[in-house]
Every structure is written in C-alpha cells, then in structure tokens.
Structure 1
Amino acid sequence: MTAATSLIPGLDDMVRSGDPERLAEAARHIAALFLQDAAKLPPKHVDFFDGLLVDLVPHAELKERAELAERMSLLGNAPRVLVGQMARDNEILVAGPLLRRSPIIDEAALLEIARAKGQGHLLAMSERPSLSPDLTDVIIGRGDRDVVRRAAGNTGARFSERGYCELVRRAGSDGVLTLAVGQRADLSEAHLKQLLVASLDVVRRRLLDVVKPARQAAIRQAISELSDIAEHFESHRDFVPAQRMIISLHTAGHLNEAALIGFAKTFAYEESVVALAAMSGVAIGTLDRLMSGDRPDPILIVGKFIGLEWATVRALILLRLGQHRVPAAADIENARVNFARLMPSTAERVVNFWKSRRTV
C-alpha cells in the first residue's frame, strides 16, 4: 500500500501490525477522503480507493459500515468490489441499503445473493427500482410472505409466466398479496381470473375499491364470467340412479375413497360424479360441467380438497377422457406435479367458490 501512505501516514505499518482498531481508523479516514471528492474522481482513482477499502472496511464497527453502505448506495461510481463485498455482508444493516438501490451491483451478483442469503436480504432486494423476471423467480421461490408481498407491490418488478403462476397460487391463502397482485398493471386477464377464483368475496370487494377504473371493469367482467358459467349449464345425463346408489353406500358407511376409485376404474361416470359431490359438497351439475371441460384442473382441485391419493385422482382423469382415449404420459406427469404442488388452502377456496354458485 505504498501509494496510499501520502493519504494516511503510517498506513503500511498499520496493515503489517494487523491492529483492528488502527485498521478501523484507517478505514474511516480513507472512506471520508473518497466520499469527499467521489463525484470528481476518475475511474482509476476509484479503483485505487477500492483496493484500499476492500481490505480495511471489514475491520470497522457495524455502525460505521452501515453508514458507509448508506452513502455508497447512492453513488453511481462507488467502488465496485467494495460494494459487492458489503452487499454480501451477513449484517442486513450493511447489505440492505446496497441491495435496495445501488446501481453498481449487476444482475449476476444479485442472483447469486438472492440464492444464497436470507429473508432480510431478499426483502431489501425486492425494493429495488427494477427487478428482472429471472430475479423475481428466485425471490418468489425463496421468499417468505413479507418478501413476496413486497415484490408483488413493486411496480418496477417484472414477472415471468412461472412467477405469476406462483404469485397467484400464494395469493390463494393471502388476501394482502391478492390485493397487491390484483393492482399490477401487467396482470393478464387469465391470471386475473385465477386470482379471483381463489379469493374470498370480501377480498374481491376490497380489490374493486383500490384498483384503477380500467382494472375495475376487468374485475367485474371476470367475476361475471365466473358466476355465469354455472348458471348457463344444463346436463343431459341422468344422475338419479347413481344418486340412489350413493345414498345407499353413504347410509351403510361405505362411501369412501375405495368406492370412488372403484367407480372411476370401471368408467362409471355418473356414480363417480355423484360420489365426488357427496364427498366434497359441490353440486352434481357443477362437477359434471367441470369434469367435462378441456383440462383436468378441477379434478386436481376437488381431489386435493377431499384429500384423495394421486392414484384416485389419476383414475378420475382417465375416467374423464373415456375408455377409448389414452393420455400422453407427459400430460399425466404434468397433472401429477400440479396436484403435488397444489395447496389445500387454495383448493378449499376454489371449492367454496363452486359451492356458492347455484347450478341449473
């Protein structure tokens, strides 16, 4: 450090002695010198200070490092290596200011920190002026409730399709997150509908109160479509004989998952639907309509709500397709993964929504 001896007399001796107090004092003096003329310094001089401070700052007291981090976080030419070092500090008082706003930290460093550090670091990072989809994928995947809420409310954050699916899934059991996601300008109509299906009526009303007029119209339209689906459906199947059978089974105490999988494996559609209705409380007509749709999602939802095993859910998916259709192995595997990931609380909210609608 010979080049620095003109800045701090005796600096070489301080470093050689390794005295923590003297090193901390040197860090204070050199940091003050840098901050005094930071706006005027050319890059080579910034690099010079960087080489000094990166070895000295760790010896400073926590309060001093935190104050230095606050000031460095506002500089567009802060010492890059030092900023990276402090952003990785386990003390959130030091790392936090830099993770929130420093323009010096690049995407690769942010991703590394997001994957390795704790909730405090993720929370600070979720407040950055802009967040890439790759970064929000990590933040949402690892973050706790507060982190995910903060990221969802950040207008500078961008989310991938996977990220939005995870936001909507977690919003199913978090009304505050539902409000944050529902107010996002980049929320697609498809995700808006998914968000509303899994939300409580009181949350929907609150969302209507806080969003902009353009989004209010979209929410009302989505709620109307969700409500009208059941009201305009009429089944052409005769469920009366199946109802008599299921009532008898129930009376005898034999209406259980074993009976249901037996109906599904023999492709007894009416009996399976009525059994599901009895076990879930969802109207027969509603289940008939849902099982006749293009996707297996309703079966996954009602199966998770009842607490069915995957084998039973799989049998119901095959029943829905019919005896003469063989599903692709990839489709079945995708359904299995989605069923495993589906939260019981989300399934409960969706089923409660189905129950609230009267079916013709």
Structure 2
Amino acid sequence: MIVSPSLIPELDDIVSRGDPKRRADAARRVSQLFLQGAASFRPDHVDLFDGVLTSLVPHAEIAERAELAERLSSLSNAPRGLIGQLAHDDEIAIAGPLLRQSPVIDEKMLLEIASMKGQDHLLAMAERPTLSTDLTDVMIARGDRAVVRRAAGNAGAAFSETGYSTLVERASQDGVLTIRLGQRDDLSPAHLKDLLSGSIDIVRRRLVTVVKPERQAAIKQVMAVMNGASEREERRDFLPAQRTVMKLHREGMLGEGALLNFARAFKYEEAVAALSAMTGVKIETLDRLISGDRDDPLLIAGKAIDAEWATVRALILLRAGPNRSASPADIETARVNFARLMPATAQRVVAFWKTR
C-alpha cells in the first residue's frame, strides 16, 4: 500500500533487524511520507504508519524527533501511539510541542504525564487551550511557581474549589499570581475577598489597573471594606509598649537584642516603641513610615542604629505579619540594599524624620 518496498526497500527487515543508523534513516523517510499525505489518509492508513513509526522513531536524533513532534502537534489524525511515545519523552524539546497543543492526547494521558514528569512538562501542559479541573489539581499539587502562574493565566483552565483555595493561599506570597488570579472571570466573590485579604496594598492597587471594568467595581468594594477594617486596626495603643520599653531602658537592657526579640515574637507595638527610643524618631512617625508599601524605612532605621541584618530581616517579617511572609527574592533585594546603604545617609534621613 502506501509504505511499500518500492518506496522504502526492505522496510520489514529494517524494522525488525536493522541497525540504528538504518532505522533512523527509515524513520525520516516514513515520517516525511506520512506528513505529506496525512490530510488524505484513512484511519487504517494512519494505524499502519503508527505501527511502523513507533518502532523506528526512537532511533532518530533528538533534533529530528523534536521537529517531527512540532509538525505532528497540530494534526488531529496524528498516529496515537507515536504521539504518546513522543509526549512521554524526557526531552522537553520533543514532548513540549505535543503537550502544549496536540488534540490527539486524551485526558488520561495528560493526567499520567502530569503525575510522573517534571516541571518543564507541566509548564508546557499549562499552555493547552483547555485544562480540566482534574488536571489543574495535579498541576497545582506538583507544580512550581512558574507552572502555577502559567496555569492561573490560562483562560481555558478550570479550577476546582480546592484548587482555587490552594491558589489563593499561594498567592499570599506571590504578587504575580495574585494579579493573574484577580483577572480571572471565574473567580468567585469569596475567593476574590480572600485573595485581596492576603495581598499587600501595592499589589491590590496594581490589580485594579489591569482588570476589566466590571471586575474593578468588585475589587474596589472589597478594598473599601478592608480599608475600613484596617483603619480600625491601625488605631494602635502604644502606651503599654512604651512602658515596657522604658522599663528595659531604665534597667539598661534596651538594645538590639530586645528589638530582635520583639520582632521575632511579632510584637509590633513593642518593636516600634523600641525602635523609636533607639532612633529618637516619634512613634507616630515610625508607625506611619513602616505601615507603607516599602521596606526602606526599616532598612534606614536599622542602618542608623548599626543593627545587624538579622534584626532588620526580622523587622521586615514583622511588618508582613505572622500569616504572610516576604518572598525570598524580596528578602534578598532588601539585604543587598541594606548592605549598600551608607550609615551617614541613613542618619541624615533619620534626622529629617525627627523634624516631622
């Protein structure tokens, strides 16, 4: 029939007993033959090619298999056995094109690959036109930050209730994920509220600028409620903390060690009161500066009192709160900025704060 001895001499012998080089050459020729006539082949023709190619293609070079996978990825009648073989390949250059778009790969195969392969395979899969809730559950459970972000940004992905809850929880430490989740049309009001509650103010404001107008209203409404609650929370009583700090001062025990202990115990009022006493800046001023969107005030105050990085880091984590943590990348950026900050510069800024 289509694949005949006249086109591929001694094909049966090559398939069963040929050396790798002859098999690789035959794989190229049979693949080309299939791709040239795929549009007109009947299912039985495709099955015949499938049996031959699954035996030959593994002997082809990686680059050749990757090119074949790319060309097969858009075909709805591509050989199923061959597609499964290539999609399971450990080389992402081979498996990737098929995982991203091949219509031949069914749900069962996708779940199997998602459960056993690595992050590159999951990342490619996250680009598929549609993703079922079963599939995204596996991707969320096994995927790293890049995988989860890409899946969340895929409009064709569906997420279960558990999947969304996990995503919202992970978003509390990932501003990019927060933005992508907030833009999803299928995000419920309850999940939106949880998403905004776990994010910092600068991320919320960014989200408002990128979502559709109809979503903006919902976000602003939730933020208004949260800001009202936040304002009530911000009416802090620093008097008990001041008494504690003054007692330490009288006993000669007010120093960096005490400040570090307050920060690690998430005692905000005591930490701010101690920092106020050590820098000479009013509590109200420090509280307002620290409550902003940046870590700079903590870096400046820490450098001005010649604090160690461990103490400043603890203050940054205190600022985030016990239920959230800054990302490792943000912490590293703060560390580098703290190291570069000159003490004289920090002291000039603190002197300015004292006049406010």
| TM-score normalized with structure 2 length | 0.67
Give the equivalent residue in structure 2 for 1:48.
48
> Any idea what SS the aligned residue of 2:121 has?
helix
What does the per-residue CA deviation read over 1:86-109, in whole Å, with 9 as the maximum and x for residues that have no partner?
000000000000000000001010
Q: How many Å separate the matches in 2 of 1:162 and 1:54?
A: 39
Give the alignment of 1:296-311 within 5 angstroms: none
Q: How many Å separate the matches in 2 of 1:10 and 1:170?
A: 58
What does the per-residue CA deviation read over 1:72-128, in whole Å, with 9 as the maximum and x for residues that have no partner?
101000000100110000000000000000000010100000010001100000000
Q: How many Å separate the matches in 2 of 1:245 and 1:26?
A: 86
Q: How many Å separate the matches in 1 of 2:142 and 2:192?
A: 23
Q: How many Å separate the matches in 2 of 1:133 and 1:141?
A: 12
Specify whether residues 280 and 62 from structure 1 end up closer, same or farther in structure 2 by C-alpha distance, changes over 3 A only.
farther
Give the equivalent residue in structure 1 for 2:175.
175
> Any idea what SS the aligned residue of 2:223 has?
helix
Is 1:17 equivalent to 2:41 in the alignment? no
Give the equivalent residue in structure 2 for 1:227.
227
What does the per-residue CA deviation read over 1:260-282, in whole Å, with 9 as the maximum and x for residues that have no partner?
xxxxxxxxxxxxxxx9986999x
Q: Once the 2 structures are TM-superposed, how far is the Cα of residue 158 of structure 1 from its aligned partner? A: 0.6
Is 1:200 equivalent to 2:200 in the alignment? yes
Question: In structure 2, what residue type is equivalent to 1:158?
Answer: A
Give the equivalent residue in structure 2 for 1:104.
104
Q: Once the 2 structures are TM-superposed, how far is the Cα of residue 176 of structure 1 from its aligned partner? A: 1.0
Question: In structure 2, what residue type is equivalent to 1:79?
Answer: P
Question: In structure 2, what residue type is equivalent to 1:219?
Answer: I
Q: Is the 8 A contact 1:7 1:30 kept in 2?
A: no
Q: Once the 2 structures are TM-superposed, how far is the Cα of residue 204 of structure 1 from its aligned partner? A: 1.1
Q: Once the 2 structures are TM-superposed, how far is the Cα of residue 194 of structure 1 from its aligned partner? A: 1.1
Give the alignment of 1:27-46 within 5 angstroms: 27-46=27-46
Specify whether residues 7 and 206 from structure 1 end up closer, same or farther in structure 2 by C-alpha distance, changes over 3 A only.
same
Q: Is the 8 A contact 1:54 1:81 kept in 2?
A: yes
Q: How many Å separate the matches in 1 of 2:55 and 2:183?
A: 46
> Any idea what SS the aligned residue of 1:157 has?
coil
Q: How many Å separate the matches in 2 of 1:65 and 1:276?
A: 59
> Any idea what SS the aligned residue of 1:68 has?
helix
Question: In structure 1, what residue type is equivalent to 2:62?
Answer: L
What does the per-residue CA deviation read over 1:262-316, in whole Å, with 9 as the maximum and x for residues that have no partner?
xxxxxxxxxxxxx9986999xxxxxxxxxxxxxxxxxxxxxxx88xxxxxxxxxx
> Any idea what SS the aligned residue of 1:187 has?
coil
Q: How many Å separate the matches in 2 of 1:29 and 1:138?
A: 38
Specify whether residues 173 and 80 from structure 1 end up closer, same or farther in structure 2 by C-alpha distance, changes over 3 A only.
same
Is 1:122 equivalent to 2:122 in the alignment? yes
Q: How many Å separate the matches in 2 of 1:188 and 1:116?
A: 31
Q: Is the 8 A contact 2:241 2:270 kept in 1?
A: no
> Any idea what SS the aligned residue of 2:105 has?
coil
Is 1:143 equivalent to 2:143 in the alignment? yes
Identity level (%): 58
Q: How many Å separate the matches in 2 of 1:56 and 1:30?
A: 9
Question: In structure 2, what residue type is equivalent to 1:138?
Answer: V
Give the equivalent residue in structure 2 for 1:317.
none
Q: How many Å separate the matches in 2 of 1:161 and 1:31?
A: 44
Give the equivalent residue in structure 1 for 2:162.
162
Q: How many Å separate the matches in 1 of 2:326 and 2:272?
A: 14
Aligned residues: 282
Name the stretch that deviates more: 47-56 or 197-206. Answer: 197-206
Structure 1 segments, 4+ long, off by >6 Å, are 242-253, 275-281
Q: Is the 8 A contact 2:198 2:324 kept in 1?
A: no
Q: Once the 2 structures are TM-superposed, how far is the Cα of residue 173 of structure 1 from its aligned partner? A: 1.1
Give the equivalent residue in structure 2 for 1:65.
65
Q: Is the 8 A contact 1:172 1:345 kept in 2?
A: no
> Any idea what SS the aligned residue of 2:187 has?
coil
Question: In structure 1, what residue type is equivalent to 2:121?
Answer: H
Q: Is the 8 A contact 1:140 1:148 kept in 2?
A: yes
Question: In structure 2, what residue type is equivalent to 1:93?
Answer: A
Question: In structure 2, what residue type is equivalent to 1:194?
Answer: D
Specify whether residues 13 and 212 from structure 1 end up closer, same or farther in structure 2 by C-alpha distance, changes over 3 A only.
same
Give the alignment of 1:147-296 within 5 angstroms: 147-229=147-229
Q: How many Å separate the matches in 2 of 1:41 and 1:280?
A: 76
| TM-score normalized with structure 1 length | 0.66
> Any idea what SS the aligned residue of 2:100 has?
helix
Name the stretch that deviates more: 184-193 or 97-106. Answer: 184-193
Q: Once the 2 structures are TM-superposed, how far is the Cα of residue 207 of structure 1 from its aligned partner? A: 0.8
What does the per-residue CA deviation read over 1:187-245, in whole Å, with 9 as the maximum and x for residues that have no partner?
11111111111112111111111111111111100001112235579xxxxxx9x9999
Q: Is the 8 A contact 2:241 2:269 kept in 1?
A: no
Q: Once the 2 structures are TM-superposed, how far is the Cα of residue 179 of structure 1 from its aligned partner? A: 0.8
Q: How many Å separate the matches in 2 of 1:250 and 1:168?
A: 41
Question: In structure 2, what residue type is equivalent to 1:146?
Answer: A
Aligned Cα root-mean-square deviation (Å): 3.8
Give the equivalent residue in structure 2 for 1:320.
none
Q: Any unmatched runs of 5+ in structure 2?
A: 234-238, 259-266, 274-316, 328-356
Q: Any unmatched runs of 5+ in structure 1?
A: 234-239, 256-274, 282-304, 307-338, 347-360
Specify whether residues 249 and 195 from structure 1 end up closer, same or farther in structure 2 by C-alpha distance, changes over 3 A only.
farther
What does the per-residue CA deviation read over 1:1-54, in whole Å, with 9 as the maximum and x for residues that have no partner?
9x7534411112323433111100100111111111101111011001000001
The higher relative CO (CA closer than 8 Å, separation ≥ 6) is in 1
